[in-house]
Structure 1
Amino acid sequence: MNSNKTNNSDITEDITNNDDKLMSQAKETAIQFFKEKYDLDVEVTNQKKLPTYVADEIDVEGYVIGHKDQTFNISVNYKTLQTKNFVMSPELKEVIQAKEQN
């Protein structure tokens, strides 16, 4: 028997650990984006990693802390940590527009 064989559960565990790391990085990137660009503190409520054949992205959803009606969805590229596809609720849009006018 070949002792160099890799156990499938080890591979699955490595993939899961890597996905957890990517999810954590995407979450922190989204939080930092809102803090630096709009001076908003946000809470992430959901994350979904897209299949790699679609894109190297994690979709991040959440809301502004203390204002659950001010929701957002943003994509984070887990290879470059760049954000894109920023979608926001009308309530959050109002807050951001008010901040940009000041």
Structure 2
Amino acid sequence: MESDSNKNEAEIIEKVREFGVNYFKERYDADVEFTEFNVRPPHIDRSVGMQGHIVGDEEQHIYLLVNYVTYEVIMGTAPVGFTDSHPNLKEDSVN
């Protein structure tokens, strides 16, 4: 049986994952997939770090840190060329 905290964390991850996918689609017209999630507890900063890649190219890494209460992007990285229209994203020059 799944505990309430695990269920709550799963719900947070699903909502933030959906937000992140839409974020990249709306701003960069890019399809992305998030594969790793790190939910930070409320006493730290109520955020989720998500790592993933551009769909169809697993070498094009992306990362978003999102506040799971306000759905504000705190910071992120994206492949070279994705950062031109959003100052909170930094180009990921590590390949």
**Does the TM-score normalized on the shorter chain lie above 0.5?**
yes
Q: What is the rounded CA distance, in whole Å, between the counterparts of 2:80 and 2:42 in structure 1?
A: 31
1:84 Cα deviation after fit:
2.1
The Cα offsets for residues 44-99 of structure 1, whole Å up to 9 and x where unpaired, read as 110010122211100011000011111011111110112121123xxx113x26x8
SS at match of 2:80: helix
> TM-score of the superposition, structure 2-length normalised?
0.79
Query: Any stretches of 5+ residues in structure 1 without a counterpart?
Result: 1-8
Q: How many residues get paired?
A: 85
Structure in which a larger fraction of residues adopt helix: 1
Structure 2: state its 5+ residue gaps: 86-95
Q: TM-score, normalised by structure 1?
A: 0.74
Larger Rg: 1
Q: Percent identity?
A: 24
Note the alpha carbon deviations across 1:22-52, whole angstroms, 9 max, x for none: 0101100110000000000001110010122
Give the structure with the larger strand fraction: 2
Identify the structure with bigger relative contact order (alpha carbons < 8 Å, sequence gap 6+): 1
Matched, 1:86 2:49: no
Match of 1:70 among 37, 45, 60: 60
Of the structure 1 ranges 25-34 and 47-56, higher mean CA displacement relative to structure 2 is found in 47-56
